[in-house]
Amino acid sequence: MKKKYWELNHPVLRILQHLAFWVLSFFVFLYIFKTGAKPEKVDYVYTLLFQLSLVPAVYINIELLLSKLGNRKQILFYLFSLAAIIIFFAWINYNFFDNWSAKVFPDYFFISYFTFREIILFFVVYIIITMLLKLSKSWFLVSWLQKELLEKEKEKTEVELKALKAQINPHFFFNTLNSIYSMALDKDERLPGTVLQLSDLMRYFLYESKDNFVPLEKELVVADNYIALQKIRSGEQLSIEVIKQGEVNGQKIAPLLLITFLENAFKHGAKGSSGNTFIKLDIKVEKNKLNFMVENNKGLIDEVNTDDHNGLGLENVKRQLELLYPGKHLLNIKDQPDRFVVSLQINL
Amino acid sequence: MKKINFIILIALLVTASSCVTSLQPLVSYNTVIADNRLEGAWEQDDQQYIVQKVFNSDLYKKHKEDLEKSRKENNGQLSEKDKRDSVLYSKSYLIKYSKDGIQYVLLGSMIKLNGRLFMNFTPADMTEIDTSNAEMEINLSNRLDSYTIARVQFTNSNIMKLDFIDGGYLYDQIKAGHMKIKNETDELYDTFLITASTTELQQFLEKYGSDSRFFNKEKSVTLNRKS
CA distance B6 to B171: 19
In order along its 227 residues, chain B shows pLDDT tens digits of 344 444 444 444 444 446 788 999 999 999 999 999 999 999 998 899 999 999 888 777 777 777 777 777 777 777 788 888 889 999 999 999 988 888 899 999 999 999 999 999 999 888 887 777 777 777 767 778 899 999 999 999 899 999 999 988 999 999 899 999 999 888 787 778 999 999 999 999 999 999 999 998 887 889 999 87
Could you tell me which residues come within 8 angstroms of residue B209 by beta carbon, excluding any fewer than 6 positions away? B113, B114, B116, B118, B151
Domain ranges for chain A, please list them: 2-113, 157-347
B128 vs A236: which has the higher pLDDT? B128
B66 vs A221: which has the higher pLDDT? A221
**What angle separates helix A116-185 from helix A312-324, to the nearest 10 degrees?**
150
Chain A residues inside the 8 Å CB shell of B192: none
Nearest to A204 by CA among A192, A217, A193, A191: A217
B204, A111: Cβ pair inside 8 Å? yes
Chain A residues inside the 8 Å CB shell of B177: 40-43
- A31 inside 8 A of chain B by CB: no
A108, B179: Cβ pair inside 8 Å? yes
CA distance A274 to A277: 8
pLDDT at A168: 58
SS3 B61: helix
A271 vs A101: which has the higher pLDDT? A101
Percentage of chain A lying above the pLDDT 70 cut: 85
This model of the complex carries an ipTM of 0.81
Nearest to A49 by CA among A105, A88, A8: A105
pLDDT tens across A171-191, in order? 667 767 887 887 788 888 878
CA distance A264 to A253: 19
pLDDT-based confidence at residue A8 (cuts at 50, 70, 90): low
Q: Contact, B102 vs B126, CB < 8 A?
A: yes
Chain A residues inside the 8 Å CB shell of B201: none
B207, A99: Cβ pair inside 8 Å? yes
Residue of chain A nearest B170, judged by CA positions:
A109
Chain A residues inside the 8 Å CB shell of B212: none
pLDDT at A33: 92
pLDDT at B2: 41
Residue of chain B nearest A45, judged by CA positions:
B178
Inform me whether the pLDDT recorded for A192 exceeds 80: yes
Architecture of domain A157-347: 2-Layer Sandwich (3.30)
